[in-house]
């Protein structure tokens, strides 16, 4: 049995502009910006030839037949393998699933990286990234997480698509900055991506947010335009607003809604991060609050 494992950082979108006009999934995606977290998804892969081929997927030890994005990656890769295989995929997620932390993209990319290694396919990194991006698009689990997750840092997605088509840059973030997150619950991406009114607002307000950020690419401006976008998009509720205000009162650099999820993230200097965490704990359970560093390395084998 051949084995390999990969780690992919969680990724938050502060704002987004869905770009689904092109017919090819490689060209679809989103414009936007957001940080990668040093908390993410570790994927362990084991493969062996089998006369009874099949796929077994677990997430945090639980059978996960619903992991369609992972299956879509496996389907693409198995077209390159001449013999039938028994494939075991174990995802260990440190971030909430379905709440806007890029877990599906991390699982897809980790699966592609680890399978490439275990099967000795020698695919180029951009090919691996494209496989994961296409899987996300086809399964409607995301549009713009995968490529930023390969890059690490705070990433601006200037143009959509897989590596051959998109355009990305990074904003320098001081080492002392932490990301404090509070999660109320999931918000299924697939449903949001079919809301025509919301998509129209994201196109308009995501475009203006991107234009402002490109002119002034700083962490402070990223948080400012993200908050403005969240207010205009229409997904904020009283509980999310209370979390945002609590973070700002505790000294955060900025705070906004995680896109797309019922969650809030805040940038805070190391000296203030603990205060922001405690402020969230006044409103949330301990397992609903996490503090992360910014992951600067991006997806990698481990």
Render pLDDT for 141-166 as a digit per residue (tens, 0 to 9).
Answer: 999 999 999 999 999 999 999 999 99
- Label residue 192 by pLDDT band (50, 70, 90): confident
pLDDT of residue 189: 66
List C-alpha distances in Å: 29 to 48, 139, 163, 237.
34, 13, 11, 27
pTM of the model: 0.97
Which residues are 15's β-sheet partners? 33
- Label residue 187 by pLDDT band (50, 70, 90): confident
pLDDT of residue 196: 85
Question: Quick one: average pLDDT of 270-299?
Answer: 98
Distance CA 20, CA 13 (A): 17
Instruction: Give 249-252 contacts, CB < 8 A, sequence gap 24+.
Output: 249/279, 250/275, 250/276, 250/278, 250/279, 251/275, 251/276, 252/180, 252/276
pLDDT of residue 36: 98
Share of the chain above pLDDT 90, in %: 95
Residue 291 has pLDDT above 90, yes or no: yes
Distance CA 127, CA 121 (A): 11
**What are the pLDDT digits (tens) for 205-255?**
999 999 999 999 999 999 999 999 999 999 999 999 999 999 999 999 999
**What are the pLDDT digits (tens) for 121-144?**
999 999 999 999 999 999 999 999
Question: Quick one: average pLDDT of 168-180?
Answer: 98
Share of the chain above pLDDT 70, in %: 98
pLDDT of residue 226: 98
- Residue 100 zone, left/alpha/beta (φ > 0; ψ -120 to 50; rest): left
Neighbours of 60 (CB within 10 A): 12
User: Domains plus CATH for the chain?
Assistant: 2-170 (3.30.230.10), 171-293 (3.30.70.890)
pLDDT of residue 195: 82
Distance CA 12, CA 297 (A): 16
Closest alpha carbon to 225 in 243, 212, 242: 212
Distance CA 115, CA 213 (A): 37
List C-alpha distances in Å: 238 to 34, 101, 104, 264.
23, 21, 27, 12
Which residue has tokens 């805070």? 268
Pairing state between β 2-11 and 54-59: unpaired
């Amino acid at each position: 049995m051949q084995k390999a494992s990969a780690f992919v950082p969680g990724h938050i979108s502060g704002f987004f502009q869905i770009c689904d006009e092109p017919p090819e999934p490689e060209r679809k995606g989103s414009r936007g910006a957001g940080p990668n977290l040093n908390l993410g998804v570790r994927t362990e892969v084991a493969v062996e030839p089998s006369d009874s081929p099949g796929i077994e997927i677990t997430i945090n030890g639980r059978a996960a037949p619903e992991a369609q994005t992972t299956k879509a990656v496996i389907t693409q890769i198995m077209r390159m393998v001449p013999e039938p295989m028994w494939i075991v995929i174990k995802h260990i997620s440190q971030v909430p699933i379905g709440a806007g932390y890029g877990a599906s993209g991390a699982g897809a990319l980790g699966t592609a990286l680890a399978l490439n290694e275990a099967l000795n396919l020698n695919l180029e990194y951009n090919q691996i990234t494209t496989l994961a991006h296409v899987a996300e698009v086809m399964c409607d689990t995301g549009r713009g997480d995968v490529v930023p997750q390969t890059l690490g840092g705070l990433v601006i997605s200037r143009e959509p698509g897989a590596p051959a088509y998109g355009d990305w840059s990074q904003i320098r973030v001081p080492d002392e900055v932490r990301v404090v997150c509070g999660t109320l619950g999931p918000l299924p991406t697939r449903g949001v991506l079919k809301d025509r009114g919301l998509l129209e607002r994201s196109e308009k307000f995501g475009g203006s947010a991107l234009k402002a950020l490109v002119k002034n690419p700083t962490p402070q401006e990223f948080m400012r335009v993200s908050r403005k976008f969240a207010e205009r998009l229409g997904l904020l509720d009283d509980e999310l607003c209370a979390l945002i205000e609590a973070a700002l009162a505790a000294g955060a650099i900025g705070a906004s809604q995680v896109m797309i999820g019922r969650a809030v993230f805040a940038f805070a200097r190391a000296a203030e991060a603990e205060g922001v965490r405690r402020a969230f704990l006044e409103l949330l359970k301990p397992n609903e609050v996490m503090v992360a560093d910014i992951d600067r390395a991006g997806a990698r084998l481990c």
